[in-house]
Amino acid sequence: MTTRDVGLKLVGFMATFSVRFLGCKVSFVDAQLSRERLLGDGHEEREGAAEVAVVNTCCVTHEAVSKSRQAAARAARTHRRVYVTGCASNLDGAFEGLPENVHVVAQTGADAAATIAGDVGALACVQSEPRLGRTRAFVKIQDGCSFSCAFCVIPLVRGGTRSRRAEMILAEVRRRTAQGHREIVLTGVNLGCFRDREAGYTLPRLIREVGAIPGVERLRLSSIEVNHVTGELVSALEETETVSAHLHVPLQSGDDRLLGAMRRRYRVEQYLARVAPLVRFNLTTDVIVGFPGEDDAAFERTLEVVRAAGITKVHVFPYSPRPGTATAADDTVPEAVKRERSARLRSLSDELCRKRWQSRVGTIDRVLVDRPGRGYADDYTPWLLDAPVGELVLARALGLSEEGILAAAA
């Protein structure tokens, strides 16, 4: 059933609602848009049971779709109406067979938020400034992707790349800092494709200008393709004081044959050369394990490249074929092999992560406390300390625990 079939029609009444998201930062931002819109329209957010649930879904792997389905089914038991939005909502049949109160809004971002808001209705008296988290704000600068990686379903469900106007982005950042957000995270599906041709902006210029806005105390990029890690970008990152020392640059494989088969637009040598100048930065990445044709030698090369690049954390994605992609019919690596390789790569990631943490012991850094007892330093390492949530605290790293770096106010 779609939202066009039945309207909730709560116009003039306050609805209670909950919002959750699955997947990446773009999904988080999309979920936030629905949340802000409903808060702004005067509805009340609740934890647990409520009248309306928004589930912003993910379809990057087969497992992500299953989890999205489960989340929608769970929400259907405790909410009168469930809106399923985001990437997986654009996949045909992904939510078939769910209860009648689950409504698929085959849209993303502001479009989905507007559809839901229209369906739920607004109160006569709306909140001009909704209550929101005050620690970090994720600001979307771009959506969609015009690359065509062989394994990736994202261009099919989110469309080609398109950018927000720089003026709108800068205005949103000013609004976020006025609300008290200390950290801004620029977010997009393929961030480096951001362009505002009319106003003459590419990502490096945007970074410099966002980073200089009064009140922006820390600026991060959610993720960037290595093709976009150019000299100009590195200069903007290095020369903008507020830019944090963390960069997430997807590798996907350390084997040239597989990178070619994946239709990635770089090879290992280029990846290593592009990230080499980022010595000050804590480098994290994504890797797909068990891509069709990945043999032991190719996997070993991936482990070597992860070490050689100085990566400290790997998000491991066991390959699963996605409908409509170039490799939809290919899945040659046995599941047991994928599991074993994923475990080895995660174990390497843990080792490199701890090495990074160890290197921070004895140093002082500014920690943005984003939940009780925990926050992130400038390089996005987790520091454990007692300080008020929302504060940027100067702290000294004292030692390590399983969850992060033990620290105290300096």
**Binding site residues, ligand SF4, CB under 6 A:** 145, 147-149, 152, 154-155, 189-190, 225
Using DSSP's 3-state secondary structure scheme, residue 166 falls into helix
Whose Cβ is closer to ligand SF4: residue 147's or residue 208's?
147
Smallest separation, CB 235 to ligand SF4 (Å): 23
Whose Cβ is closer to ligand SF4: residue 8's or residue 152's?
152
Whose Cβ is closer to ligand SF4: residue 225's or residue 294's?
225
Query: 179: burial class by Cβ within 10 Å (0-12, 13-18, 19+)?
Result: middle
- In this structure, which amino acid lies at residue 163? S
DSSP 88-114: GGGSTTTTTT--TTEEE----HHHHHH
Smallest separation, CB 100 to ligand SF4 (Å): 33
Q: Using N-to-C axis directions, what is the helix angle for 203-211 and 166-179, rounded to 10°?
A: 30
Backbone φ and ψ of 210, nearest 5°: -65, -45
Smallest separation, CB 232 to ligand SF4 (Å): 20
Write b or e for each residue in 113-145: b if 16 or more Cβ atoms lie within 10 A of its Cβ, otherwise e: bebbbebbbbeeeeeeebeeeebbbbbbbbbbb
Whose Cβ is closer to ligand SF4: residue 225's or residue 365's?
225
Whose Cβ is closer to ligand SF4: residue 113's or residue 226's?
226
Residue 43 to residue 36: CA distance in whole angstroms = 10
| CA 338 distance to own-chain centroid | 24
Residue appearing with tokens 């200390």: 182
Residue 56 carries which DSSP code? E
Cα 128 to Cα 35, 39, 40, 59, 161: the distances in Å are 14, 9, 6, 34, 32
Whose Cβ is closer to ligand SF4: residue 107's or residue 190's?
190
Backbone φ and ψ of 198, nearest 5°: -60, -45
Among residues 280, 210, 205, 211, the alpha carbon closest in space to that of 241 is found at: 211
Whose Cβ is closer to ligand SF4: residue 127's or residue 148's?
148
Smallest separation, CB 155 to ligand SF4 (Å): 5
Note whether 211 and 174 are within 8 A (CB).
no
Whose Cβ is closer to ligand SF4: residue 85's or residue 252's?
252
Smallest separation, CB 177 to ligand SF4 (Å): 29
Smallest separation, CB 249 to ligand SF4 (Å): 12
> What is the helix (H) or strand (E) element at residue 140, kind and residue range?
strand 136-140
Using DSSP's 3-state secondary structure scheme, residue 340 falls into helix
Smallest separation, CB 286 to ligand SF4 (Å): 8
Smallest separation, CB 161 to ligand SF4 (Å): 8
Whose Cβ is closer to ligand SF4: residue 215's or residue 323's?
323
User: Which residues make Cβ contacts (< 8 Å) with residue 308, sequence separation at least 6?
Assistant: 272
